Structure 1
């Protein structure tokens, strides 16, 4: 057999240009989703997150450019800590494992819950459901110097973010803790509290039923909740306090607003992220057209990215929040 001639410089250049062309034209859109993937869903089966997961999975399958079977695995309770921990230990950046992450799981990590091993930093959102988070009172907002009684379930729950916001506004709010078994608007109606944090679906009806007056939302600075466009964000006021504590408020507020985010592991290749986001666009369109419950809105992956990124503040802000919980509420995780 005659010897094969050594490749010339021109041959190498042709080969290199071919590879460059393949890279240029075979970018994110060229990625193929796996034939099967696992969606980790916080329990219980039939619970609020499972009810989001089922239509989401169906829409992803319809929106994918190739056939995809999404297997739902329901784990743990509604705070999402068990499902998030499984995702942290078993989720590889290969596009085959996704997590439906609730804000409560990120909040557990923020407050230092020893069960919470999953860090949302670097997680890549495919899509999300954001809700309204608004502090309301029995009467209008009195401003600095007032001392309202703020009711919420527990120091490690979303209501503590409202207390921190009031502190940074210069209000001397008195916490009323232990309302876990009572709807916040019921606490207002029964006179147990003068202000509460309302989150979740059906807020227009709940606000009307309670006769409550919105004070401020937990939206980012300069943003307005579409449901309450006339209500300012807490960040629109002049906040007084250390920068780290104000950053902690931003993180706790994001946890309160996030109902659920569909995320991929950090370091998942960009082309796979783009392919999953493209598939999720069908779900975003379906929910925009049909409508989630009032107060909830779907977010595409790029729109959800700032919200998911805000769940993981710098270490100094995390420490500041935990110290504030200890000094203000005499609380620390078990």
Structure 2
């Protein structure tokens, strides 16, 4: 039976309505101002501040040809990966270099949003200084190597007693904080090894047997891990889940046979998860998954250019080729532009002071990481 848990809070329900119904409307197509913009003969840099092969890179390269096709003038769009700092380095470079001319755009992800939300001093970027033109949720699946002998929640005692569990992480304030908090909630003894240059590197460490546990976002899981599952080299245990239109945590529509994390935790612990670690997990789940990926430009970019991008993405979302191929890359998630994008952006960049304070204390206690 699928467990549904409410993640909403009074006053935040509208922001959390980012499930299928909340993300169904792509927003109105822009008007004549967008038609006046022409990128003919131009080259647009699509900055992805993470390594080649991970979920963000896969997502960007899927959108690359559609963006070129639907922007006025059909410019060349080049994906440029800038690694380091779990996404912070490349994002800082975008904040410093991007001009309001529409020739450089940034693809964000939870690994970039989290340091901003938590007040990481390495951050030199401000989400308030950007204008979003595309938003999309994603999901993720946690999986283990078959040698552990863990096939599901019935084997949780064996999982908890396992020795030498390691997880390859991009950094303590990256998107990997979601699985780290999951380990905390479940009481699992997992050594978290920092320094991975993207989730693609984490997956390779898993494939080499260096880390017996791993997770990938939906796009990378479908493309890179499902072959391992079919070959018996990886065993999925849970998805992170998805939000429905009421802001409730439900099973990911891409993985309906897998329990979402709260289902797994409830069965493993004998009661629904609660406490500050759970409060932190569900807040970061929204910022990292339910409203995870955005394409942004500098906020001072002229309206005609912003509208051109919104129009291009609106046309992308109804492009027959996009609709045919998106499930294999993005999954069963609805990306949006326009007002729905703006609502998702607000939700993904909001964290209460209480939760921020607890997470900062936990990072210091758990990883000796001081922000």
Q: TM-score range by the shorter chain?
A: 0.5 to 0.7
Between the two proteins, the alignment pairs up a number of residues equal to 302
What TM-score, normalized to structure 1? 0.68
Spell out the pairing of 1:313-328 with structure 2 (5 A cutoff). 313-314=350-351, 316=353, 317-328=355-366
Distance 1:190 1:179, change over 3 A: farther
- The within-5 A match list for 1:183-194 is 183=202, 187=206, 190=209, 193=212
* 3-state DSSP of counterpart to 2:178: helix
Flag the 1:135–1:55 CA change in 2: closer, same or farther, 3 A. closer
* 1:31–1:271 Cα contact (<8 Å) kept: yes
In structure 1, distance between residues paired with 2:210 and 2:103: 50
Match for residue 287 of structure 1? 322
What is the RMSD computed on CA atoms of the aligned residues?
Answer: 4.3
**Could you tell me how far 1:133 is from its partner in structure 2?**
1.1
Task: Determine which of 109, 112, 121 is the counterpart of 2:116.
Answer: 109
Partner of 1:162: 179
Q: Secondary structure at the match of 2:216?
A: strand
Match of 1:77 in 2: 83
Shift of 1:270: 7.0
* Distance of aligned partners of 1:198 and 1:51 in 2 relative to their CA distance in 1, 3 Å threshold: closer
C-alpha displacement of 1:279: 0.9
Change (3 A) 1:269 1:248: farther
How far apart in 2 are the matches of 1:326 and 1:263? Answer: 31
Aligned residue runs from structure 1 range 1-334, under 5 A? 28-32=30-34, 34-36=37-39, 38-42=44-48, 53=60, 56-64=63-71, 66-67=72-73, 69=75, 72=78, 74=80, 76-77=82-83, 79-91=86-98, 97-110=104-117, 113-121=120-128, 123-128=130-135, 131-137=138-144, 138-142=150-154, 147=160, 151-154=166-169, 155-156=171-172, 157-168=174-185, 171-178=186-193, 183=202, 187=206, 190=209, 193=212, 195-199=213-217, 200-201=220-221, 202=223, 203-208=225-230, 209-220=232-243, 221-235=248-262, 238-242=272-276, 246-247=279-280, 249-251=282-284, 254-255=287-288, 260-266=293-299, 273-284=306-317, 285=319, 286-291=321-326, 293-294=328-329, 296=331, 299-301=335-337, 308-314=345-351, 316=353, 317-332=355-370
* SS at structure 2 position matched to 1:82: helix
Larger radius of gyration: 1
Provide structure 1 residue ranges, at least 5 long, that are not aligned to the other structure.
1-26
Bigger shift: residues 184-193 or 122-131: 184-193
Q: Structure 1 residues 185 and 81, CA, compared in 2 at 3 Å: closer, same or farther?
A: closer
TM-score, with structure 2 as normaliser: 0.62
Match of 2:5 in 1: none
Measure the CA separation in 2 of the matches of 1:132 and 1:46.
19
| Residues 132 and 295, structure 1, Cα contact 8 Å, conserved in 2 | no
Contact kept? 1:120, 1:311, Cα under 8 Å: no
Deviation at 1:240, TM superposition (A): 0.9
Bigger drift between 107-116 and 133-142 goes to 107-116
**Counterpart residue number, 2:26:** none
User: Would you say the 8 A contact 1:124–1:265 is kept in 2?
Assistant: yes
**Over residues 91-124 of structure 1, what are the superposed CA-to-partner deviations in whole Å (9 max), with x where a residue is unaligned?**
4667565222243322343455543222335744
**Inter-CA distance 259–251: structure 2 relative to 1 (3 Å threshold):** closer
In the other structure, the counterpart of 2:147 is none
Give 3-state SS (helix, strand or coil) of 1:215's partner: strand
